Amino acid sequence: MTQPTSSKQKSEPTREALISSALHLFGRQGFDGTSTREISARAGANIAAIAYHFGGKDGLRLACGKAIAAQMTKVLQNGVKTPFASKDQAIRHLENTIEAMARFLLLGARAEDILSFMLREINEDGPVLDGIYQTMIEPKHRELCAAWGGATGTDPESEDTRLAVFSMIGQLLYFRIGKPVILRRMEWETIQRQDADRIVRLLKRNLHAALAAASEE
């Protein structure tokens, strides 16, 4: 056994390079579609380094999940206090979250690898998803539910609210998940900044419409 949680020596560069390489390749080609040789070559490391640092290919996969969770919790961290002080503040938080997530998903170059990897792991429904769900998805969803409740005057943890937040996140995520389909249909080659702006505007319009509809019930 090796692998202390923190860095004792200069093994970090290799570790990080392997994780970065694996994240990229797993996301693009899938776990089974990526060979350990490919990963180590891209990382500029030796094949044996995977077994040495992570115990094997599966260990590297888990490490990728942990790395994502660690990074995203840092990104998603915003000193937000629930419950929200006012209705306007709750709405503004929802708007800001949509905008930030949309830009990250649609324009961020780094997001490509992370998202592809996560989507595969969600579909797989394995131990990697467990970690990602508990450390980032669930806390973030709870936070958004609190905002939704504050914005509509409904119970933040009611089934209806939880589903409504999923529907909001869903239309947002689909613009990234269905990217190949959307690019074809929109006759775009890539998603430019102005395209992302247009999508964000649409999402905000839908948000306000959905909030109004949810408040009336």
Partner DNA sequence: TCGACACAATCAAACGATTGATTTAATATA
Partner DNA sequence: TATATTAAATCAATCGTTTGATTGTGTCGA
- Considering the complex, state which of residue 52 and residue 131 has its C-beta at the smaller distance from a copy of itself: 131
- Give which of a copy of itself, DNA, none residue 67 binds (C-beta under 5 to 8 Å, depending on kind): none
Give the integer Cα–Cα distance in Å for 46 and 14. 9
Amino acid (one-letter) located at 167: S
- Considering the complex, state which of residue 104 and residue 133 has its C-beta at the smaller distance from a copy of itself: 133
Closest CA to 212 of 93, 100, 87, 84: 87
Own/partner contacts of 40-46, CB < 8 Å, gap of 24 or more, are 43/14, 43/17, 43/18, 44/17, 45/14, 45/17, 45/18
Q: With CB under 7 A as the contact rule, which of the stretches 45-53, 129-137, 178-186, 209-217 interacts with DNA?
A: 45-53
Amino acid (one-letter) located at 105: L
Indicate which single residue of 30, 46, 83, 157 sits in contact with DNA (rule: CB under 7 A).
46
Residue 185 binds DNA, judged by CB under 7 A: no
Residue 170 binds a copy of itself, judged by CB under 8 A: yes
Give the integer Cα–Cα distance in Å for 96 and 102. 10
Other beta carbons within 10 Å of 2: 9
- Positions in 10-29 near DNA (CB under 7 A): 10-11, 13-14
- Give which of DNA, a copy of itself, none residue 159 binds (C-beta under 5 to 8 Å, depending on kind): a copy of itself
Indicate which single residue of 8, 74, 81, 185 sits in contact with DNA (rule: CB under 7 A).
8
Kindly list the distances between the CA atom of residue 148 and the CA atoms of 72, 74, 200, 201, in Å, as whole numbers in the listed order: 22, 23, 18, 19
- Considering the complex, state which of residue 50 and residue 145 has its C-beta at the smaller distance from DNA: 50
Cβ contact 34:26 at 8 Å: yes
- Considering the complex, state which of residue 14 and residue 148 has its C-beta at the smaller distance from a copy of itself: 148
Query: By the criterion CB under 8 A, which residues form the site for a copy of itself?
Result: 29-33, 116, 119-120, 122-123, 125, 129, 133, 137-138, 141, 159-160, 162-164, 166-175, 177-178, 180-182, 184-186, 198-199, 202-203, 205-206, 208-210, 212-214, 217
